[in-house]
Structure 1
Amino acid sequence: MKIIRISYPTNSSTDYPATSLAIGYFDGVHRGHQVVIQNAIKQAKTLGILSSVMTFDPHPKSVLGSREHTSFITPLPDKLQIFEKMGVDLVYVVSFNRDFSQVSPIDFVERLLVSLQIKYITVGFDFSFGFRGLGKAHDLKLLAKSRFQVQVITSVNSQVEKISSTNIRNALQMGNIEKANYYLGRRYSIQGLFHSEHNHFFVTPPSIMPALGEYLVEVKIHDQWVYGTLYINHEDKKLPFSLYLIDPPTSLPECLEIQFICLASNDVSQLGENPVVKKSI
């Protein structure tokens, strides 16, 4: 998979390949996002062109001053790995800054999308673009002017609500790992540095950490997965995360990937006293 970082306006002298494109921030790359991206891949195969994804870095809301978007379900490196596993050929990472936030919906199409030689675009039903998100999915169809096709994917829902990044974020913050994992279509995972002497785990990317509690997890160590327990205590400002493993190998990498299985306990007073995993490192 090729990654191209671009800024607005694009370089007019660059020869971009024809692609079928999925557009979105795609935080979490959840089940709804996957349908959008899979459709872009499907159309690329039909047309005999490359499949591509356009995402933005950093998050538009963080640039515009929202304090709610300083941590993410999938930081950019994780998101790119998921795109690659899905079979995406090319990813455009668009630099989002205040100047770009002022671009009109018309210029977003004429000076960005058209210059990239896009032949087919897939977006979600709630897609918006341009200054203050004034451009909507139906506007994209009108602005295409037969230069590219546009397909809008309808909402993907659970039995009770829309599957969305917001609802996954809320589930994680409530410790509802099973719900978050179902909406994601995979286990929620984080990466971080591990200091085995005191079992301390330090989250490195700006990942969302679940609610306070004791979690059953699986940890990737070299090429194997090992069960363990991760204790999260946001009230401990110095060392909020502690990790314990079952039968850990003799050597451990400094950086670990942790996948969440379920919440074992959210009783603050009992954290660490009766761990699911009794053998520490």
Structure 2
Amino acid sequence: MNIVRLAYPWPENGIPREADPQVMVIGQFDGVHLGHSSVIDYGIRLARRLGITASVMTFDPNPKEVLGKGDYEGYLTPLSIKEEILRGMGVDTLYVAEFNHAFAAVTPEQFYEQMLVPLHVHTAVVGFDFHFGHRGAGTPELLRELGQDSLLVETVPAFLLEDNKVSSSAIRAALREGDAKHATKLLGRPYQIRGVVIDGDKRGRTIGFPTANLELSERYVVPRPGVYAVRVLAEGVWRAGVMNIGFKPTFQTGETRPSFEAHILDFQGDLYGQQLAVELIDYIRPEQKFGSIDELVTQITRDAESARQILL
């Protein structure tokens, strides 16, 4: 997959004009969930049928982050993960448009004339609720009007699961509630976070449950604090594990930021400095404060067994 990065304002000579036409799927696609996949798959199939390039245009950082929207919680799929998913789906070219305040002021007309026309877009494929341009004034209908006879616009309807629309906001809500299984159903895959293993307080190894303390690599949507059955990609192998997300109340650390500590079942090794990927499979229990270390060890033993039953 070819990745092209675009930044506004464009160079004086503008965006290089593409030599060949392409089908372009346009959207933020945070999560690349089942609804997003239905739009992207439609565009890829159309491009294959026409014998032209299948491309996707997305925006980074997330517009909500740049514009300071109050409901912004972080990414479901940071750009690095999004790129991997799109590559696996068969996208030929990914355009990553840098979203900044200057780009936020671009009108729908400018977006069409300065971005889509130079890129020789044959067909734009968008979701039913697609908006673009300053204050989201652009709609699929306006894009058709702007393109007239030179641009086709295909709109893909909402993707329904059990009569409910699949959306990024529904996935965020599921994660806030600790419903990892429902998030998996909406995403079409488990929710994944990534981070580098850093030094922690090393209490886990003293009680027989060494943990990998992750420093997240991106600003992710943080799930509900608690204990989860997880799969961990460590040293190139997916392994069963249990993860605590939270504030370690038993030790009264006074943490204001949640920690992410994973214990990998039946694993011995040094993971410090390595990047791990962790998939949330199921919620086991809320985080809780224990009266003694012995009580904590007993519960962790139960958690590990619960995770083993869920995963193995």
| TM-score of the alignment, normalized to the shorter chain, above 0.5 | yes
Tell me which of 189, 208, 216 is aligned to 2:229: 216
Q: 1:268: how far off?
A: 2.2
Q: 1:251: how far off?
A: 4.4
Aligned to 2:190: 187
1:219 alignment partner AA: V
Range moving further from structure 2, 259-268 or 234-243: 234-243
Q: Does 1:259 align with 2:262?
A: no
Q: Does 1:244 align with 2:263?
A: yes
1:115 match: secondary structure:
coil
Q: 1:109: how far off?
A: 0.7
Q: Does 1:87 align with 2:106?
A: no
1:8 alignment partner AA: Y
Structure 2, unpaired ranges of 5+: 203-210, 250-254, 306-312
Range moving further from structure 2, 210-219 or 91-100: 91-100
Range moving further from structure 2, 48-57 or 63-72: 63-72
Aligned to 2:304: 277
Aligned to 1:18: 21
Q: Deviations over 1:19-62 (max 9, x none)?
A: 11100000000000001111111111111111100000111122
CA contact (8 A) 1:174 1:211 kept: yes
Structure 1, unpaired ranges of 5+: none
Q: Normalized against structure 2, the TM-score is what? A: 0.83
Distance 1:100 1:237, change over 3 A: same
1:151 match: secondary structure:
strand
Aligned to 2:99: 96
Distance 1:21 1:239, change over 3 A: closer
How many correspondences in the alignment?
A: 278
Aligned to 2:143: 140
Aligned to 2:154: 151
- Cα distance in 2 between the residues matched to 1:52 and 1:123: 12
- Cα distance in 1 between the residues matched to 2:244 and 2:82: 25
Aligned to 1:268: 288
- Cα distance in 1 between the residues matched to 2:119 and 2:192: 33
Identity %: 35
Aligned to 2:166: 163
- Cα distance in 1 between the residues matched to 2:56 and 2:173: 26
Q: 1:13: how far off?
A: 6.4
Aligned to 2:62: 59
Equivalent residues in 2 for 1:23-62 (5 A)?
Answer: 23-62=26-65
Q: Deviations over 1:151-182 (max 9, x none)?
A: 10111122252110111011111101011100
Q: 1:272: how far off?
A: 5.0
1:150 alignment partner AA: V
- Cα distance in 2 between the residues matched to 1:206 and 1:160: 31
Distance 1:107 1:176, change over 3 A: same
Q: Does 1:4 align with 2:4?
A: yes
1:167 match: secondary structure:
helix
1:116 alignment partner AA: L
Distance 1:13 1:179, change over 3 A: closer
Q: Normalized against structure 1, the TM-score is what? A: 0.92
Q: 1:201: how far off?
A: 2.0
1:33 alignment partner AA: H
Range moving further from structure 2, 9-18 or 123-132: 9-18
Give me the CA root mean square deviation. Answer: 2.0
Aligned to 2:246: 233
CA contact (8 A) 1:9 1:111 kept: no
Distance 1:9 1:241, change over 3 A: closer
CA contact (8 A) 2:15 2:114 kept: no
Q: Deviations over 1:5-25 (max 9, x none)?
A: 112354436232421110000
Q: 1:196: how far off?
A: 6.9
- Cα distance in 1 between the residues matched to 2:257 and 2:136: 39
Range moving further from structure 2, 127-136 or 103-112: 103-112
- Cα distance in 1 between the residues matched to 2:84 and 2:184: 17
